[in-house]
Amino acid sequence: MIFSKRLTSSLLMLIMLFVKTSLAGTPVLHPQFPLLDESGKNVLFSGQPLSTMQTCGTCHDTQFIVSHSRHSDAGLSSMNNFSPSASDYPWDRGSGYYGQWNPLNYRFLSAPDDSLLDLSQGEWVQTLGFRHVGGGPAEYNQAGVRLDKSPVTESWDWQKSGVEEMNCFLCHTKAPDIEERNQALQNGNFRWANSATLIQSGAVIKERTGYRWNPEAFTAKGDVRRDFLSPTDPSNENCGQCHGLVFTAKDTPEGLKSCDWNTATTGEIIAPQRINRSGLNLKDKENLHRSWDIHTERAVQCVDCHPSANNPIYYQDSKKHRLDHLIFDARRIDVMDFLYRPSHEFARGGLPDSNEQRSPGETMRSCDGCHDANVGHNWLPYKDAHFAKVSCESCHIPRMHAPAYQQIDWTVLTKSQTAAHDCRGAEGDPRDVTTIINGFEPILLPSRNADNETRLKPFNMISSWYWVYGDTPRPVRLADLKKAYFKGNNYREDVVAVFDVDGNGEISEAELRIDSPEKEQAIRQNLETVGLTQVKIEGNVEAYKINHAVTGGEWATRECASCHSEDSRIGAPFELATFLPGGIVPGFTGAIDLGQIGTMEVDARTGLSYTMDLSTQGLYVFGETSIVWVDWLGFALMLATIIGVVVHATYRVISARRNGYKEHQTKRIYMYRFYERLWHWVQVMAIFLLLITGFIIHKPEMLGILSFPFMVQVHNALGFILFANAFLAVIYHLVSGEIKQYIPQPRGFFDQAVAQANFYLKGIFRGEEHPFEKSRAKKLNPLQQMTYFGLLNLLLPMQIITGLLIWSIQTWPSISNALGGLRVLGPIHTLLAWLFATFILLHVYLTTTGHKPMDGIKAMINGWDEVEDHSGRKSTGIETESKEKLK
């Protein structure tokens, strides 16, 4: 006993030492305050539920807050002017969380006079109100009259339930009791829902008969004590109650329910924790020491990027409205004014996954509002070109490490009477702790921001199927669907009979899908028995933008090959579903016109996938994009040349053996000056290396070991060397007059060309003399003149110009864009490259057609050529004439 006492005392001392330091707290601005009920009386004395409008309204302009808060209104106020045709689904009744249908919640807000009621307004609050902050549809009807003051409707007794005012405490206290609040909502006790939010604080106590205020939580004056309730700024956890999976624990492995409602649309997890410390059963987890979200890790809070619209620190006019000359408008709202009337419109990005957000929106600082991407991306070639086409998120959200929905199938009901969900990013059921989670790579789709710039951004895509009925189709009510599948808690016998394919008396997960006409017919029949007409299956696909779960440079996509290769992420097919319920190909919905920018592909084996079409975005991704016929045409030309050369050479060898070698009179002349030779060989090397590096850029996977960005930089440098060399050569030829050699003389040119062609086709095999004597003053025969004329006047300049234009998209994108951008320039450049390659083959072969095979090449090396001496030869007429001319 003594021993343990001693031990305890020393332990206590230690604890004291540790605690001591943490007590020095930060000052608290918010004063203590009384909780007031609807009539303005202190709840401690009245015993009534608290009224946030009264309580907080003592100091803050709560009416102002309620009047514009989108969180509270949820689309109620715009329902009077709502036109379903502008909406995603024809059965939508509003443009906000209230009134807008989605296949995740499935439940359907019915019109008050609906004969087949799914959710009345009261039931909506009861069922879906847990993600609504109160006020709006939880307090008012469409006409703006408080529901408990309006006449009783048949569907809901508002006098009994009361209404739920906008719930300030949900976002402004440290530990709101969302469980108890939800309980109150589900019990139809809306009146007490806001008070129930404070149960965890200890200010209110739940008893069997109802709720009771705890006198110990109040001061003698009747104020609620600070240690029980102290309003705070919204923390990430507050936002996460509705908006996503948020947790702050860094070291404790968070046992995540993966693919749960709050993270399932995208897989975004807002947490500072290193992924390898999490409770998820992730593949290669030990190496994933990045955090779930770098902003959270670095102590950036939700409200830092999504601040109140009139917050004097964060407020900034959007680019559109800012004066060009003004960097900072110093005239700010006074802090006291802000605290009295804080705007509850929060800065936000455009969210194309919901209609409500299509309004001008996007008031948020985006990445470039805080970060300067120009600093720190120096390793990236074509920085600006990338930034113009690719959003920050595309590389800085390289992978989602938590699963997300892929397919939601409401055509069937699982044993727990909800839809069958398929998640991507998990090797099996993501809710099973033993399932390996491998995450997924988001699809990159074009997305337009408030400044009307379109860039690729990461998305998840969710496909959904559901039964609809009636003349103007709308989803079958959950209640009816349950009737079609269930009797009590078990599947109906007729359903089991059709769905149980293997006859074991159970419907397995694989069997629970409408993949045969019999199954479809059985359910349709059951639904018709319930009284529904024109029952059919419909499907839809929607894209969900991913903005969070960002990571820093170390973990961002740096591999060029992830886009610049055959296996490019851009335009890669994205799986939408493993099978199509009822064989129905779904339609598209949402703000992004998926039908316009890509195509769906149905494959009996792999299911349904979606592929973005790069051409719709004018995207040309080096290493990935290629026009197939350009490559084939170029390749065919080259192949034909190779065959021609081989045939010609073989015949030359055979005929030389047959006819013997005929000696012609030759002379040795100094053919090429030093500069000419230097110029030539520099050009040879440049073109050769350009072709190789260009090929690697065009098809990186064929020579995968070489680094793509290095090739791009070398290719660019080589291009400039080629350009400079060609330019200097032009000057040389102009100044020296050598240019004349390249200009064909019109007179007699045709005959001479025929003569030269005849030589290549006949004479060369007989060992005849060349038709024209090669001399210092006349190096080129007519066919060469023709070829070089084309080469130097068309091919080379065109290649240099297209190359320069492609190069210039970093600096002067407008010029190349005016000419059609990369989608035009890229293929031209490629085709010309093929022609170059073909020319080189032919050119190299023809150099061997001189006096002796190696003479031409030797001459280009040391300048001295062994040429036929025609001086003793009988004039052919044609030749003399041209000879005279040249001399």
Partner 1 sequence: MRNYKHTWLLGTILSLAIIIIPILIALPRNAQPIDDPFSKLPKIAIHVDHSALMQGPFNTGQEVTQACLVCHPDASEQVMHTSHYTWESDSVYSPDHKRMVTLGKKNAINNFCISIESNWPACTACHVGYGWEDESYDFSHKENVDCLVCHDHSGGYKKSKKGNPAKGVDLLAAARSVGAPTRENCGGCHFDGGGGNAVKHGDLDGSLKFPSERIDVHMGRYDFSCTTCHRTEDHNIRGKASSVSIGDLNTQNQVQCIDCHNQEPHRDARLNEHTEAVACQTCHVALMARKDATKIHWDWSTAGQDLPQDAHQYLKIKGSFVYKKNHRPDYAWYNGTTGRYLKGDIIDPTQVTPFNKPNGNIKDPKAKIWPFKIHYGKQIYDKTNNYFLLPKTVGAGGYWTEFDWDQALRLGAENSGLPYSGEYDFAETSFYWTTSHMITPKDEALQCIDCHSDVGRLDWQMLGYDGDPVTHGSRFLSGGER
What are 90's two structure tokens?
A: 């024809």
Residues in a beta bridge with 246:
270
Phi, psi angle pair for 508, to nearest 5°: -80, 170
Q: What is the largest CA-CA distance in the chain?
A: 133
Pick between residue 21 and residue 871 the one whose CB is nearest to partner 1: 21
- Residue 864 CA to residue 866 CA, distance in Å, equals 7
698, HSE (Cβ side, Cα atoms, 13 Å): 19
Return the closest-CA partner of residue 111 out of 89, 87, 94, 128. Answer: 94
Residues 6+ apart with CB under 8 A from 76: 94, 96, 98, 99, 136, 137, 140, 142
Which residue, 183 or 666, is less far from partner 1 as judged by CB? 666
42 or 296, CB closer to partner 1?
Answer: 296
Alpha carbons 51 and 54: distance in angstroms, whole number: 5
Give the C-alpha separation, 99 to 108, whole Å: 8
Q: What is the distance between the alpha carbons of residues 538 and 483, in angstroms, rounded to a whole number?
A: 20
Tokens 């090429």 appear where?
672
Question: Are 715 and 694 contacting, i.e. CB atoms less than 8 angstroms apart?
Answer: yes
Q: Could you tell me if 582 and 520 are in contact, meaning their C-beta atoms sit under 8 angstroms apart?
A: yes
**Residues in contact with 86: Cβ distance below 8 Å, sequence separation at least 6, in sequence order:** 95, 355
3-state class percentages of the chain: helix first, strand second, coil last, to nearest 5: 45, 15, 45
Asked whether 419 and 409 are in contact (CB, 8 A), the reply is yes
Nearest distance in Å: CB 719, partner 1: 10
**Closest separation between CB of residue 696 and partner 1, Å?**
15
CB of 11 or CB of 702, closer to partner 1:
11
- Taking the least distance from each CB to partner 1, the nearer of 685 and 801 is 685
Closer residue to partner 1 (CB): 72 or 291: 291
Nearest approach, Cβ of residue 584 and partner 1 (Å):
47
Distance of closest approach, residue 502 Cβ to partner 1, in angstroms: 48
Q: Closest separation between CB of residue 862 and partner 1, Å? A: 5
Closest approach of partner 1 to the CB of residue 560, in Å: 14
Encoded tokens for 131: 């993600």
Task: Name which of 299 and 327 has its Cβ closer to partner 1.
Answer: 299
Can you say whether the dihedral through the CA atoms of 601, 605, 607, 611 is positive or negative?
negative
Describe the strand order of the beta sheet including 574-577 as a list of residue ranges. 574-577, 607-612, 598-603
Among 759, 766, 773, residue whose Cα is nearest residue 870: 773
Q: Are 836 and 842 in contact (CB under 8 A)?
A: no
Helix boundaries (H) for 486-532 = 493-499, 517-530
Helix, strand, or coil (residue 34): strand
Toward partner 1, which CB reaches closer, 251 or 603? 251
Nearest approach, Cβ of residue 276 and partner 1 (Å): 8
CA-to-CA distance for 115 and 112, rounded, in angstroms? 9
Report CA dihedral (720, 726, 730, 732) to the nearest 10 degrees. Answer: 100
Q: How far is the CB of 237 from partner 1 (least distance, A)?
A: 11
CB of 872 to partner 1, least distance (A): 24
Tokens of 677: 């030779």
568, 396 contact by CB (below 8 A): no
Q: Are 570 and 614 in contact (CB under 8 A)?
A: yes
* Both structure tokens of 751: 């005959």
- Rounded least distance, CB 433 to partner 1, Å: 24
CA 852/CA 864 separation, integer angstroms: 13
Residue 9 vs 63, nearer CB to partner 1: 9
Find the shortest distance in angstroms from Cβ 247 to partner 1.
12
**Shortest distance, position 446 Cβ to partner 1, whole Å:** 30
Nearer to partner 1, 407 or 725 (CB): 725
Name the minimum Å distance from CB 724 to partner 1: 8
26 or 115: whose CB is closer to partner 1? 26
Query: Least distance (Å) from partner 1 to the CB of residue 406?
Result: 31
Ramachandran region, residue 719 (left: φ > 0; alpha: ψ -120 to 50; beta: rest): alpha
Give CA separation, 782 vs 143, 283, 633, 884, 885, in Å: 91, 69, 27, 15, 14
Residues that bind partner 1 (CB under 8 A): 2-3, 6-7, 10-11, 13-14, 17, 21-22, 24, 26, 248, 250, 272, 274, 276, 289, 291, 296-299, 378-379, 552-554, 677-678, 681-682, 684-686, 689, 710, 713-714, 716-718, 720-721, 725, 858, 861-864
Q: Is 137 exposed, middle or buried (0-12, 13-18, 19+ CB in 10 A)?
A: buried
Between 262 and 707, CB nearer to partner 1: 707
- 720/742 with CB nearer partner 1: 720
Asked if residues 646 and 845 have their Cβ atoms less than 8 Å apart, the reply is no
Q: What is the DSSP letter of 254?
A: P
How distant, in Å, are the alpha carbons of 521, 787, 793, 804, 827 from that of 796?
68, 12, 7, 12, 16
State the minimum distance, in angstroms, from the CB of residue 299 to partner 1.
Answer: 5
**Amino acid identity of 509?**
E
Is the Cβ of residue 412 or residue 549 nearer to partner 1 in the bound state? Answer: 549
Residue number with CB closer to partner 1 (651 or 710): 710
Nearer to partner 1, 454 or 683 (CB): 683
| Smallest separation, CB 619 to partner 1 (Å) | 25
From the CB of 9, what's the least distance to partner 1, in Å? Answer: 9
Q: Based on CB atoms, which residue is closest to partner 1, 651 or 675?
A: 675
Q: Which is nearer to partner 1, 703 or 861 (CB)?
A: 861
Q: Closest approach of Cβ 425 to partner 1, in Å?
A: 23
| φ/ψ (deg, to 5) at 204 | -130, 145
Q: What are phi and psi of 42, to 5 degrees?
A: -65, 125
